[in-house]
Amino acid sequence: MERHRWLKVAIFACLVAFSVGREFRLNHKHSGDAISFNHTLAEILVQYASAAYISDLTELFTWTCSRCDDLTQGFEVIELVVDVQHCLQSYVGVSKSLNAIVIAFRGTQENSIQNWIEDLYWKQLDQMYPGMPDAMVHHGFYFAYHNTTIRPAIVSAVERARKFYGNLDIMVTGHSMGGAMAAFCGLDLAVSHNYQNVQVMTFGQPRIGNAVFASYYSNIVPNTFRVTNGNDIVPHLPPFYSYFPRKTYRHFPREVWLYDVGFGSFIYQVEKVCDGSGEDPSCCR
Ligand SMILES: *[C@@H]1O[C@H](CO)[C@@H](O)[C@H](O)[C@H]1NC(C)=O
Ligand SMILES: *[C@@H]1O[C@H](CO)[C@@H](O)[C@H](O)[C@H]1NC(C)=O
């Protein structure tokens, strides 16, 4: 009995996820572009996001690290981008199987993660996003991408890759703080460099700006997914207060929430595609 009940719950949850996904596609019909969450692509991009943490730069450059196999085989690194002063690391390369330029950003390193998370509670919206009236972001995330050696190195690597391989898609990814940088990078490539085919998929990304920023962002980089996991605190930070929705941080859409339903040995992984608000109250956020 118990087993059937949970099975029903799981099936119901999947139907909800499916119908929400369908609604999303309908909503976006007018833009002529049906963007749906691609689970296979997420499994590939999470490998790229994870590889950004590898500290052995030779292994990373030659794509011979232990995480650099199966799903990402044949990846060609164009440029490793390391900012030692600010402790940032990312890379740009070409995936022939995805037919895309992949850009991945490292998150905060393990030894400083606790402090970093504690700091996240107090981050102020203290930086205007240039060219977008009333859009505010956190200066720390903004400057990590915009005011370090990272941005010029990434932009020039993307230009080189496109010169050599043609007009490939651009996929930007990262985990945690790397996800925040991935979002700024995707937005920058679309706004300042006018690239049309930019996709962003982040994993466990914190909030980076206010509601006005989120709205600009989602218009400019509509092909964005934020994958969240039920047990992760980072996507809840810096906090969103629903009673001050325009004054606080706000996520941009679209969240895809991975969580387990079930009980005992009947656990089902549910993947819920959340609504277009960025702060779907029935999701992890
Ligand atoms: C999902 O992504 C994979 C990897 O890029 C691709 O091969 C597949 O065709 C995509 N599926 C859909 C439905 O777009
Ligand atoms: C941006 O970077 C430059 C050079 O590192 C530095 O002088 C400047 O103060 C930075 N701007 C801000 C607002 O932090």
Say which residue, 16 or 55, is predicted with more confidence: 55
pLDDT tens digits for range 162-218? 999 999 999 999 999 999 999 999 999 999 999 999 999 999 999 999 999 999 999
Q: Are 150 and 144 contacting, i.e. CB atoms less than 8 angstroms apart?
A: yes
Per-residue pLDDT, averaged over 127-152, amounts to 94
For a pocket test of ligand 1, which of 22, 33, 38 has the largest count of ligand atoms closer than 8 A to its C-beta? Answer: 38
> What percent of the chain shows pLDDT beyond 90?
59
Helix ranges (DSSP H) in 72-176? 113-120, 139-146, 150-165
Query: Edge-to-edge strands of the sheet including 88-95?
Result: 76-83, 88-95, 100-105, 169-175, 198-203, 224-229, 255-263, 266-273
pLDDT tens digits for range 64-103? 988 787 889 999 999 999 999 888 999 999 999 999 999 9
Ligand 2 pocket check for 147: Cβ under 6 Å: yes
Nearest-CA residue for atom 2 of ligand 2: 147
pLDDT tens digits for range 140-161? 899 999 999 999 999 999 999 9
Could you tell me if residue 14 is left (phi over 0), alpha (psi between -120 and 50 degrees) or otherwise beta? alpha
Q: Which residue from 150, 153, 6, 158 is spatially nearest to 93, judged by alpha carbons? A: 158
Per-residue pLDDT, averaged over 49-56, amounts to 93
First vs last C-alpha separation in the chain: 33
pTM for this predicted structure: 0.84
Residue 116's pLDDT is 81
Q: Which residue from 255, 254, 178, 257 is spatially nearest to 222, judged by alpha carbons? A: 254
Ligand 1 pocket check for 71: Cβ under 6 Å: no
Residue 121's pLDDT is 81
Per-residue pLDDT, averaged over 56-61, amounts to 93
Torsion over CA: 142, 148, 152, 158 (sign): negative
Which amino acid, 276?
Answer: G
The residue count for the chain: 285
Say which residue, 15 or 165, is predicted with more confidence: 165
Residue 18's pLDDT is 37
Ligand 2 pocket check for 61: Cβ under 6 Å: no
Average pLDDT, the chain: 85
Residue 34's pLDDT is 60
Residue 244's pLDDT is 76
What lies within 8 Å, CB to CB, of 104 at 6+ separation is 48, 49, 51, 52, 90, 91, 172, 173, 174, 178, 182
Q: Domains plus CATH for the chain?
A: 2-273 (3.40.50.1820)
Rounded to the nearest angstrom, the gap between the alpha carbon of residue 79 and the centroid of all alpha carbons in its chain is: 20
